[in-house]
Each structure stands twice: as C-alpha cells, then as structure tokens.
Chains A and B, each alone.
Chain A
C-alpha cells in the first residue's frame, strides 16, 4: 500500500470521468465499469480535481465531518484512493 503523499494532487486517471448527475447520484465512469459514489467516498472523490493537494483534501474532510483525528482521516481517505489507483481510476 502506497498512500498518497501530502503534496500529491489526486485526480481521475485518463479516460475516467464523472457521468452526468442523475437522481442526485454521482457516478464515475471508467473502462468497462462504473461506480456510484456516496457519502464519504463521494466527498473525497469530488475534491480530487488535480488542483488540491492530498493534505488540502484531508483538511476539507476534517471540516465537513468536524473530525479531529487527522491521522485516521488521512489513513482512510488514503487507502480509498490507493484502491482506486490500483484499479486505474485515480492517479496521484
């Protein structure tokens, strides 16, 4: 497991994109598949715009959930992004 570096800028991998929103749901399309992202996953991924750094994304999440355990947020968001990287959906 290689978690994103603080200063990396996570973004959707080439050929992966958001589908048009329908019924309030958000879906990421990628080769041969699609995932509907909800809750925390959605909050993480919507901020992976290639502009924000991973540290900044963690900061946003911290505010959204008024959580204080930054290390825990980092671990969980990081391992989610790493899983998506292995599927070639996210790069950082």
Chain B
C-alpha cells in the first residue's frame, strides 16, 4: 500500500511573540534569514496536493509573524488544500482576519495558555491573554471553523472545569484540551509541568461530564498525558505514514521533534521534490515497516496500532531512537518514566500522595526568539 502524507504541517517561522515554557519548537530554531520564500512555500503546497495531501496546518512559531501570511493562505487554498491556521492570535487585526478569510482560510485554531490571565501570561512569558480573549470573540462572529486549544499541566489542571467554562462562554466549535508532551522546551521544564495522578484521574471525569453536557454544541477533544498511559501513542500515526512537516528553512521532517535524532539527514525542499523526500529519503524510510523494531515491539500484538510509540521520545529518554517508547508499560526502560511519575507524585506510587500539586518554587526555562 502506498503511503500518502494526508496532512502537511507547515512551520512557517520560528519567530513568536510568546515564549511558552512547553513550546514544541526545537531547541535549535531556524533563523528568520533562512526562512523559505512565498514562492517556495506555494510550490510545496502544490506538490503536497499533487501527492494526495488534504490538509495544511500553517503553524510556527507564530505564523502571523510572516508578512506574506495572506498570500500563503491563498496559495495553499488554491492548491486545493484544506487550510488551517494554528495561531496565538497575536498580530491578528480585524482587517487581517477579514483578509485571511477572503483568501480562503477555513479553520482557525487559537491557542490559550489558561483561562486565568496572570497564569496564562506567566506560562507565555508575555502579556497576551487579554488580547486573545477579544480576538476569540471576533473570530467567533465569522463564518469559519473555530477551535480553541488550551494546554494543561500540573500548574493549571486543577482548574480544568473553569477553563472549559471559559471556552464555553466564547463558543468555539471545538475545544482541544491537550496535556503537555515532553519534547522541545517542555522537557527541561518537565518537573514543574508533569501532573500528579489524582489530577489526571479527576481530569478524565471532568472531560467526560463536559462532553456529555455540551454534546452537539461544542466538541471536546482531550489529549491525555502519555506518561500515565499503559501503552504509547501512535505518534503522528506512525513515522512517515500520514504526516509531513516542513520547518521554516525547508527541512522535511516526519514530526516536530525528529531533528533531535542523531544520524538522520533530513532533506530540504530547496534541493529535492516533496515526493522524493516522502518516498525515497533515508530519513522518512528509517522507521517505516517493522524491520527496525526490537523486542518487545517486534512480536507485540499492538505493533500495527502504535508502531512502538514515539521515536523521538524513545531517543530523548533512553538514547536509543529504535527502542520501545519508554512510556509503554512493556518497555525494558519503562522505569525511566515510572521514576519520573513517582517523583512527580512525591514518592513511591503506593505511598501517600500529595492531594494537590506542590506549590514548588520553580524557575522556568522560557523559549527565546530565534536570532
């Protein structure tokens, strides 16, 4: 069966007015001067559509930091792609919003750091929350699919219900509540971000109740923290199976984080066609199929479902990108994740658990701007 990159993730720039402590951008960011041009991006959009891609996710950094964002939306849409803008909203004037919609933008995904202004600004390392709330209301007045995204973690998960009410008041079509995943800038901040077990359990109940209550009005999707899962997530639907990411400088990657894996050479759309990169490049073929798998994945019944979990997480935590994702309860090095979870819960899992997060004095590592 031939694989098709159903969605293209276009990381238009790594520049961003926010400095979120869990940003999924790589620690080594691409400079503004190395970014692809408008024409180069538009060619990438056409090549992706020709290969059968259906969606493009315009993201960053902050995609609105690109002066040509309206042209890029128009280029993506006229290539036939379903066009989604993933944005903090900062830089989006009423006029820009109208221009983007006129250019064919179909879905806006607006990220929030919290429902509480002070907490949100502290996570973002910038004062943006109040502006976002205003923006959310004006986006809602437009005829466009609108998703609000709120990232949750140890510091705010106790206020999940309040955050759902906050979204409910704005009335997006969809609310995505996503637990932090530990890549990029989140990994150095993990101790302060990893929730405790009771928070996770309570959150599942809160989400279920809210889904029931809001059925047919606002769809709620919940991304659970994989450190508390029994089996790993099928990261990106499997390496090089469904998604293709282009970074600001034109490097093609199977996911946001893949650049951390040593020994892989990621080809650039400036030098190769998208089709060649997807089908032929060594990097995209590296973890396709099952040949690369070791035990316990190789003989596991779930290997077609989760593909051994996330290659980047396996590398970041164990040093071996081909190993079983250590969040898997069957992984030989699962103790690495278990240990982190135990530490987060204030001792052995069977011991006395703290009832609420330790109000720990932490110093965040904020994501800077690329030079």
| Same complex origin of A and B | yes
Interface string of A1-34 (1 = CB under 8 A from B): 0100000000001111101100000010111101
Chain A residues lying within 8 Å of B173, measured Cβ to Cβ, are 13-15, 31, 88
State whether A32 touches B106 (Cβ < 8 A): no
Interface string of B147-159 (1 = CB under 8 A from A): 1000000000000
State whether A29 touches B145 (Cβ < 8 A): no
Chain B residues lying within 8 Å of A13, measured Cβ to Cβ, are 145, 173
Assembled-state Cα–Cα distance A34/B55 (Å): 9
State whether A31 touches B147 (Cβ < 8 A): yes
* Chain B, residue nearest A17 (CB): B106
State whether B144 touches A14 (Cβ < 8 A): yes
A72 at the interface (CB under 8 A from B): no
Known: A20-B80, A31-B107, A32-B55. A87 touches B219 (CB 8 A): yes
Chain A residues lying within 8 Å of B107, measured Cβ to Cβ, are 15, 31
B84 at the interface (CB under 8 A from A): yes
Closest chain A CB from B126 CB (angstroms): 27
Q: Which of B232-291 contact A (CB under 8 A)?
A: none
Closest chain B CB from A11 CB (angstroms): 12
Chain B residues lying within 8 Å of A16, measured Cβ to Cβ, are 145
* Chain A, residue nearest B145 (CB): A15
State whether B54 touches A88 (Cβ < 8 A): no
State whether B54 touches A15 (Cβ < 8 A): no
B205 at the interface (CB under 8 A from A): no
Chain B residues lying within 8 Å of A15, measured Cβ to Cβ, are 106-107, 144-146, 173
B215 at the interface (CB under 8 A from A): yes
B351 at the interface (CB under 8 A from A): no
State whether B145 touches A2 (Cβ < 8 A): no
Assembled-state Cα–Cα distance A16/B147 (Å): 13
Interface string of B85-128 (1 = CB under 8 A from A): 00000000000000000000011010000000000000000000
B213 at the interface (CB under 8 A from A): no
State whether B174 touches A86 (Cβ < 8 A): no
Of A27, A30, A34, the residue contacting B145 (CB under 8 A) is: A30
Number of residues of chain B lying within 8 A (CB) of chain A = 19
Of A19, A20, A88, the residue contacting B174 (CB under 8 A) is: A88
Closest chain B CB from A75 CB (angstroms): 17
A85 at the interface (CB under 8 A from B): yes
B230 at the interface (CB under 8 A from A): no
State whether B143 touches A14 (Cβ < 8 A): yes
Assembled-state Cα–Cα distance A16/B55 (Å): 12
Closest chain B CB from A2 CB (angstroms): 7
Of B54, B84, B144, B216, the residue contacting A86 (CB under 8 A) is: B216
B307 at the interface (CB under 8 A from A): no
State whether B54 touches A34 (Cβ < 8 A): yes
B41 at the interface (CB under 8 A from A): no
Closest chain B CB from A51 CB (angstroms): 17
Of A14, A29, A87, the residue contacting B54 (CB under 8 A) is: A29
State whether B219 touches A88 (Cβ < 8 A): yes
Assembled-state Cα–Cα distance A27/B55 (Å): 12
Known: A31-B84, A88-B145. A2 touches B174 (CB 8 A): no
Q: Which of B131-172 contact A (CB under 8 A)?
A: 143-147
Assembled-state Cα–Cα distance A19/B80 (Å): 8
Assembled-state Cα–Cα distance A76/B84 (Å): 32
22 contacts between A and B (CB under 8 A): A13-B145, A13-B173, A14-B143, A14-B173, A15-B106, A15-B144, A15-B146, A17-B82, A19-B82, A29-B55, A30-B145, A31-B84, A31-B145, A31-B147, A32-B84, A34-B6, A34-B54, A34-B55, A34-B82, A82-B216, A86-B219, A87-B219
Chain B residues with CB under 8 Å of chain A are: 6, 54-55, 80, 82, 84, 106-107, 109, 143-147, 173-174, 215-216, 219
| Interchain residue pairs A-B with the least CB separation, the first 9 | A15-B145, A31-B107, A29-B82, A88-B173, A14-B143, A31-B145, A15-B106, A15-B107, A88-B219
Apart from A15-B145, A27-B54: 4 A-B pairs, beta carbons within 8 A: A14-B143, A14-B144, A19-B82, A32-B84
